[in-house]
Amino acid sequence: MQASEAIKKRRSVRDFKPEAVEDDTLMELLEAAVNAPTAGNVQPWKFAVVKEDNIKQELEKAALYQSWISRAPAVIVVMADLNRAAAAYGRRGVELYCIQDTAAATQNILLAAVEKGLYGCWIGAFSEKGVSKCMDLPSELRPLVLLPLGYPAAIPSPPPRRQVEEVLF
Ligand SMILES: Cc1cc2nc3c(=O)[nH]c(=O)nc-3n(C[C@H](O)[C@H](O)[C@H](O)COP(=O)(O)O)c2cc1C
């Protein structure tokens, strides 16, 4: 699949078939993640794949009860490694670069997923404290994105986009 096709086809999907996602496929998605660009090639990230129902339910609770999250066969938790970010770039590393780096990794996962017929949704609305607690994360790992993934039960139509002419400064 061409990159341009994956970019167009990617959609936020919140309704999944119960079918599991194979471990090999999940590893390929993480391979796509670690190929994202990072400031100074620091790669200040960690990823967790959650498949256990009880932890998915805890994640859902932390994510303001977005009640479809635990129905996804897998949830990738994208985290910034703040120690690694700080060691390389101090405050700017912690406050900016690691957030941009993990965002690039997240988008890579979503685009690589499309090629495999998998869809998901970038979840930013969650209690970081709640996620850290249920995942038992050390303090240097900041959870930034939850990414429920699976084979879609339905793919919604694209929501409206602002046109390039409107956003071109
Ligand atoms: C930083 C960020 C945070 C988001 N947080 C949530 C969220 O908490 N819950 C949700 O259902 N969708 C969330 N979304 C998905 C957006 O709602 C979605 O991308 C947007 O409506 C455009 O739809 P599309 O992804 O299908 O193009 C988030 C997306 C981004 C980039």
Mean pLDDT along residues 31-51 = 98
For the segment 75-123, what is each residue's pLDDT rounded down to a tens digit?
999 999 999 999 999 999 999 999 999 999 999 999 999 999 999 999 9
What is residue 9's three-state secondary structure?
A: helix
| Cβ atoms of residues 127 and 114 within 8 Å | no
**13 Cα nearest atom in ligand 1:** 26
Q: Please state, in angstroms and rounded to a whole number, the distance separating the CA atoms of residues 7 and 19.
A: 24
CATH number of 3-153: 3.40.109.10
Looking at the DSSP assignment, which residues form a beta bridge with residue 152?
16
Average pLDDT, the chain: 98
Tokens for 51, please give them. Answer: 């498949």
Among candidates 154, 15, 126, which has minimal Cα distance to 72?
Answer: 15
pLDDT category of residue 36 using cuts at 50, 70 and 90: very high
Minimum CA distance residue for ligand 1 atom 18: 12
**63 Cα nearest atom in ligand 1:** 8
pTM, two decimal places? 0.98
pLDDT of the residue at 136: 98
32-69 burial, b at 16+ Cβ within 10 Å, e below that, comes to bbeebebbeebbbbbbebbeeeebbebbbbbbeebeeb
Looking at the DSSP assignment, which residues form a beta bridge with residue 142?
80
Terminal Cα distance for the chain, rounded: 32
Minimum CA distance residue for ligand 1 atom 6: 123
Tokens for 3, please give them. Answer: 């990159």
Among candidates 59, 60, 61, 101, which has minimal Cα distance to 79?
Answer: 101
Mean pLDDT along residues 130-157 = 98
Q: Return all residues near 164 (Cβ < 8 A) that are at least 6 apart.
A: none
For the segment 46-76, what is each residue's pLDDT rounded down to a tens digit?
999 999 999 999 999 999 989 999 999 999 9
- Ligand 1 neighbour 121 (Cβ under 6 A): yes
Q: Please state, in angstroms and rounded to a whole number, the distance separating the CA atoms of residues 142 and 37.
A: 19
pLDDT of the residue at 26: 98
Mean pLDDT along residues 11-36 = 98
